[in-house]
Chain A
């Protein structure tokens, strides 16, 4: 199945690997061979199974079926990072370094060299110096990790891997947080590593970079192996086409048309905030506006700034025609703008409380009668929410943390809707919930829009954005790359904009 000379030695090979989490299958008979001294890119949409495959290749997950071959022999990789001893190192996206310790201490963490029971700092320092010089990294061995740039931290991780005699280096989106210059530096190190015979596997959404650095490319879609090709044989556009290409079922509700003359509810002009650069867009009454882009493209940051959760550096926000800047979440809520977080466990719900206090928390001022909380009104709201959102809890007194993800998401929706907002921003509306609940959420969104509420759907799942939105804004690096309408709303177009291959003329 592998193109090119299959005689080249395979260091690590996944052979018809399948993986299920509980009853949910995420990988279906995926095969991938990694050769010594190659750069092998793994691409696919969010949720295609890339992370799972990487974790199986490095022993963090065990496959449900299929074999892992190491140096041509079937192997069961030791769990929890034990595979590092075999030379298989996974570098996580969130780096695994002790911020307050020095470069040298981090590289030798957990296997410090000692002499007569005392740390042999001199030997460790000279060895680390050697590694840093080899890779061409100009930092002090006694620099604190917290003082380094992200790119330098990444290099330290790589040096750490090399110092452990890594033969296979697996990296999850190493360039996601790097600037162009840093990426160039990073690629030079990767070239050096390659020459020493190390195999480098990396995940990236930046297809032009993949084209530039990778020798071979494996494409996954929906947990299926789509192909492994030589990088020379694939253009970024062809990659994008292989990543997507699926039909939308009736998971999505029929969409009503937005009146072209409908009033503008929200206008944003040249918005700047911590990770948002010059973002402008409009939202009409009764419109569903999708926000697509890679994770970290700044979509959430735009709306956190608008809703008073993060400071706005500059720019204008017009709500119902008047220039507004919400000083707090409460101000946004009172005006009729509500933001539903994507992180329902950490930011959305009080997991150690019951449903009722969670439901009314956001809209609590509405439930105050003569200084006290009107608990009867709360009970009524709870009963209403259970009916309207079909929340199924075996016991209403159960702690929210013990409910299923789908029911938590419905409760979170109900909580936000208690304020009867005119604009609702739903960030990742269906993260981690089953397909049945997804459908309910989509129908709910469509019904809201039909009632005249304006909805923003931020989603990393492309079919979802395409399935529910009237228009789609695609963001990348904190900027709007383009706004898609009508037939242009398809995965190919979105991927091109999101990967930076295409950009709308500014005007």
Chain B
């Protein structure tokens, strides 16, 4: 299943096919080489671990976003959703300390709430787009505003801080490791593998692709379009809640600036990875690479004085545009519009 639709020459097809699938991997390797040349410490074990851990948040959310986008939708609310879930988690855990104590029970309660909230928020986005027949862009723009203002309200304009007693219990979820890899990286790996299997090996994944490719065909092919689309938002919500669960112990707080612009980073990771924005073709592997590429850029800028760290956004923006331009695959074939 290749993205490129029409090029009729078998040879040209094979060529661009390779560029398209291998592109993100090549880009990541190039970035690593550049990073190493600028500062050999880039490839140190400590930095690589740090890089992977940092990638986990965006990466996990982006796996969910791959489903939404493949099925022809979009979810702009994920950053605000993460902030709101983090806020509610902290409030619930803080108030549970009294009864449950600062132990594992409280943390599990918080995590459970996070998952329920994530699934619920995703379900709301899904129902509004399918049953409510409102465009996904509008729905999630609305819920994005709602979740963001909710966390500001809960924090009364300031910061919600996790009870210090709980922090000790919860801390290993972000800072601990297992078999040499940090916990967030394990979560990332598990989510990625499950996501890959779901998208590439199950009927559900096939349905997502079919709906994104042509919703009418999907409907006539006995696919419950509304249900599948809603499920993609639920998966997105679940991914956001997982990312939030590993994010909260990192700082132990949530405020109105938590998760700002995560939605754009997640969408960027998906697109860099080769998933088509208008739907019908999705690549989990590409999404993972996309998330790693975005984090790597920031990391390299931290390592060198060549470009100001403040230009991180500029570099990410350039990479996104270049990646999509390369994926169009019609560069070098200048013509089309010139009759």
Q: Which residues of chain A have a CB within 8 Å of any CB of chain B? A: 309, 328-330, 332-333, 339, 341, 343, 346-354, 357, 361-362, 364-365, 367-368, 371-373, 395, 399, 401-402, 415
Contacts and interface: CB of A to CB of B under 8 A. Distances in A.
A361 B214 contact: no
Given A341-B220, A352-B213, A401-B6, 9 more contacts: A329-B219, A329-B220, A347-B214, A348-B220, A351-B5, A352-B281, A361-B206, A361-B210, A373-B206
B222 A362 contact: yes
16 contacts: A309-B220, A329-B222, A332-B222, A347-B214, A349-B217, A350-B213, A357-B1, A361-B217, A361-B218, A361-B221, A364-B203, A364-B206, A371-B201, A372-B202, A399-B6, A415-B221
Nearest to A350: B213
Contacts of A329: 219-223
Contact of B220 (A339, A354, A371, A402): A339
B12 interface: no
B218 to A, nearest CB: 8
A359 B26 CA distance: 34
A402 B8 contact: yes
B304 to A, nearest CB: 42
A309 B219 contact: yes
A252 B3 CA distance: 41
Interface residues of B, number: 27
A361 B206 CA distance: 8
B1 to A, nearest CB: 6
Interface string B76-90: 000000000000000
Contact of A399 (B5, B202, B210, B224): B5
A112 B201 CA distance: 57
Contact of A365 (B10, B203, B214): B203
A372 B210 CA distance: 17
A352 B221 contact: no
B216 interface: yes
Main secondary structure of the interface of A (DSSP, over half): mixed
B222 A330 contact: yes
B202 A362 contact: no
Interface of B: 1, 3, 5-6, 8, 10, 197, 201-203, 206-207, 209-210, 213-214, 216-224, 280-281
B216 A333 contact: no
Among B8, B197, B210, which residue has the most Cβ atoms of chain A within 10 A? B210
A329 B220 CA distance: 7
Given A309-B220, A330-B224, A364-B206, A352 B5 contact: yes
A362 B216 CA distance: 13
A349 B220 CA distance: 9
A371 B322 CA distance: 38
Given A333-B222, A353-B1, A368-B203, A346 B214 contact: yes
Contact of A350 (B6, B10, B217): B217
A347 B217 contact: yes
B78 to A, nearest CB: 27
Given A352-B280, A399-B5, A402-B8, A372 B214 contact: no
Given A352-B280, A357-B206, A361-B206, A372 B201 contact: yes
Contacts of A364: 203, 206-207
B96 to A, nearest CB: 36
B216 A346 contact: yes
Nearest to A415: B221
A411 to B, nearest CB: 12
B189 to A, nearest CB: 19
B327 to A, nearest CB: 14
A280 B4 CA distance: 47
Contacts of A368: 202-203
A362 B221 contact: yes
Contacts of B217: 346-350, 361
A362 B209 CA distance: 14
